[in-house]
Structure formats: C-alpha cells, structure tokens
Amino acid sequence: MAAAVGEWEWKRVDGDLVKAAQEGGREAYVDLIRVRADHLFAVAHRILRDVDRAEDALQDALIIAWRDIKGLRDIDRFDAWLHRVVVRVCLEQATRERRRVVNLQVLPLDGPAGRDEFLDVADRDQLERGFQRLPLQQRAILVLHHFVGYSPAEIAQALGIPDGTARSRLHHAHRAMRAALEADARRGIHEGRSA
C-alpha cells in the first residue's frame, strides 16, 4: 500500500491531556480533539460520502467519546479507540438514514487534496458508484486501510475484532470493490458509457 494520504501527524498521544479529560477536564478534551478533528472528519466523509452527514457523525462521535473516555484504560490506544467510535457512529447514522432514504446522494469529488492525473473523471465516477454499492462495514475497512493507513492488525484493534477477521474482511472488501467496479463497467458497456 502506498503511504496513505490521510495518515495523521498526531500519533503521539498527549497522555496528560487524555488523563485530564478523563478527570472531567473539558478544555483538555477540546484540545485533544481539535488537532484530530480534520483527520476524523476526513475518515467520516470517506465512509459516508457526504459533508453534512460526516460533520453530524463526527460531532456525535466526539460527544460519545467525551461521555465514555473514563473507560479508556490504555491511554496509548486513545487514537485507535477514537477511530472506533467515529466508525461506529458513521455506521450507525448511515443505517438510520438508510431506513428513511434509500438512495444516498452521490457527490462530486471536488476536494482540494490528492487530485492528480492518476484517475480520470470516468474512473472517479466509476469508483464512486462502486464504493457506494459496498456494505458500510466494507467501506469502513477500506477507508481505515487506504486512507488512515492502518494495517489489518491496527484495523482489528480499532474495530475490536480479531486480527484474522480484519484480514478476511479487508480481503473481501477488496474483492467486493473489484466486483462492483467490474459490474459497473459491464453496465457501462451495455448503456454505451465509456468505462
């Protein structure tokens, strides 16, 4: 895997801030999340594919993390734990949303970062369609691996699943993505769309 674009620079956890937040320090908690918010928002956005929903999910996740931070025993795992809360809330919110709105909005990818000639417009459209066909769990695994830069072992830690399960799910997610893209390409040929 190439160096992940979303790999964050705050991997070294400020233990004093986490401890202060666990003791009820709201300012300490806000300091902790302020430096992580952009990255966590990017993770939520890549799972949910919608800016507003990603912001809502992040906000809820950060409230839950505040509520539950006393339960974090290993301060060094703060970031893995925080990722897990964000991913869970994304899955939760998307599931709720899906009950009300079956068709998710497909947004144009007009973000400022990472754009190059590696992918053309047709590729991006195809990827968007393929990605949105994946179950949310598979989307989350792919985002944690390809955007956050987590290894399968780190995914396992972040999602609270066995190592082997994380590897297996990642493998299946890749396979599902490939199948979704191939199905989309076949559909494009039938519809006269260039793929």
Partner 1 sequence: MTHERDIERVLDHWLGEGPLVVGDHVIAQVAQRIEHQAQRPAWRLGQEGQLMTGALRMVAAVAAILFLAVASSVLLSRPSGPEPASPIPSPVTRSIYAANFDPGLSLQLPAGWVNTDDSYFSFELEGPSGAAAGAITLRTNPYLAANTADCSSATDVGTTEGIIAGLTADRRLVVSEPTPVVVGGVDGQMVDVELDASWTGTCPWSAGKPAVLLVARLSSPPGPDFGIAGLERVRLILLGRDAGVSIGIHAPAATFESFLRVAMPIVESFRFGAPRISPTREGP
Interface with partner 1 in residues 157-186 (CB under 8 A): 160-162, 165, 174, 177-178, 181-182, 185
Nearer to partner 1, 16 or 179 (CB): 179
Q: How far is the CB of 45 from partner 1 (least distance, A)?
A: 6
Distance, first Cα to last Cα, the chain: 25
CB neighbour burial string for 15-38, b if at least 16 within 10 angstroms, e if fewer = eebbebbbeebeebbeebbeebee
Tally the residues of the chain. Answer: 195
- Total residues interacting with partner 1, rule: CB under 8 A: 76
55 contacts 23 by C-beta, under 8 angstroms: no
Q: From residue 112 to residue 141, what is the string marking binding to partner 1 with x (rule CB under 8 A)?
A: xxxxx-xx--xxx-xx--------------
Q: How far is the CB of 49 from partner 1 (least distance, A)?
A: 9
Q: 110, 113, 109: which is closest to 131 by C-alpha? A: 109
Of residues 25 through 84, those in contact with partner 1 by CB under 8 A are: 26, 29-30, 33-34, 37-42, 45-46, 51, 55-56, 58-60, 62-64, 66-74, 77, 81, 84
Nearer to partner 1, 16 or 26 (CB): 26
Give Dmax over CA atoms of the chain in angstroms: 61
